[in-house]
Amino acid sequence: MCFDFDARPPDLPADLVRAVAGGAAAEVFELESADGTSFSAAFAGSSDGSSDVGVVILPDVRGLYRFYIELAERFASAGHHAIAIDYFGRTAGTGERGEDFDYMPEVRQTKVEQVQEDIAAAIAELRSRTGVSSVVTVGFCFGGLQSFLADTNSSLGLAGTVGFYAGLDTSKRGIVSPVERTEEMSGPLLGLFGGEDPAIPVSLVERFDAALSEAGVEHEIKVYPGAPHSFFDRKYDEFAEACEDAWRRVLAFLGSV
């Protein structure tokens, strides 16, 4: 499990706010994937308009809900057009879902290739709406896994990938772990992990770090000592410093690609 249903993304550090998020709330709408599937998405445009780097947000196991809609608005306020996507158009349809949504059966039906088709549709939409030339994926938990796996797909044309507490142990899902696919990655890559995350032990993060280095992939891995899984949450006051540091690292990464 990642964020609670009532979780909210941390505020941007005040000195990094560059614009109002499109002057309004994010727009929730539907996109169509290559196989004709409709899926939900949320777009927030930056009124600053100076950045040529857009963001595709890949949510945790719940798919698209309020946390990620607001996160798109945060990125827009930092000067980056952003679009967040849902994973479950093929199996659960579209539209807003409540706290009682039984997401795990839907997660088990997802396929990496189909998620990447949906990412491609989101990239095309982002470029069509905004004209950005560079796109970075930013994923959380299950979405962090999908973000790193997207780095193995050159046809997406990504400028970089970011993963917050990305799933690295995929042995129970029938998916080859990013740890085993670093030779296929092109980078750059940013990984942010909690030092007290029982699902992603630091030893596994270190293996990933070493494998990226061996493969010659440009990357940065940051582990926050004492931080749990899903520490990037406004209500966790004790991890406010980690949240601020994570924001700064992500936005610096976007500024460097």
* 0.85 exceeded by pTM: yes
Token pair 């997660």: residue? 107
pLDDT of residue 22: 54
Is the distance from CB of 234 to CB of 205 less than 8 angstroms? no
CA 54, CA 256: separation in Å to the nearest integer?
Answer: 13
Is domain 13-132 given the CATH code 3.30.70.270 in the classification? no
| CATH 3.40.50.1820 residue ranges for the chain | 13-132, 157-165+172-257
pLDDT of residue 236: 82
Is the distance from CB of 180 to CB of 149 less than 8 angstroms? no
pLDDT tens digits, 41-76: 999 999 877 789 999 999 999 999 999 999 999 999
Token pair 């445009």: residue? 45
CA 209, CA 163: separation in Å to the nearest integer?
Answer: 13
Burial of 47 (0-12, 13-18, 19+ CB in 10 A): middle
pLDDT mean over 177-183: 96
pLDDT tens digits, 83-92: 999 999 999 9
Task: Report the Cα 72 to chain-centroid distance in Å.
Answer: 10
With b for 16 or more beta-carbon neighbours within 10 A and e for fewer, the 180-200 pattern comes to ebbeebbbbbbbbbbbebeeb
Around Cβ 170, how many Cβ atoms within 10 Å?
Answer: 16
Question: Are β-strands 38-44 and 82-85 bridged in parallel, bridged antiparallel, or unpaired?
Answer: antiparallel
> pLDDT tier at 209 (50, 70, 90 boundaries)?
very high
Mean pLDDT of all residues belonging to the chain: 94
Domain 157-165+172-257, CATH number (from 3.40.50.720, 3.30.70.790, 3.20.20.80, 3.40.50.1820): 3.40.50.1820
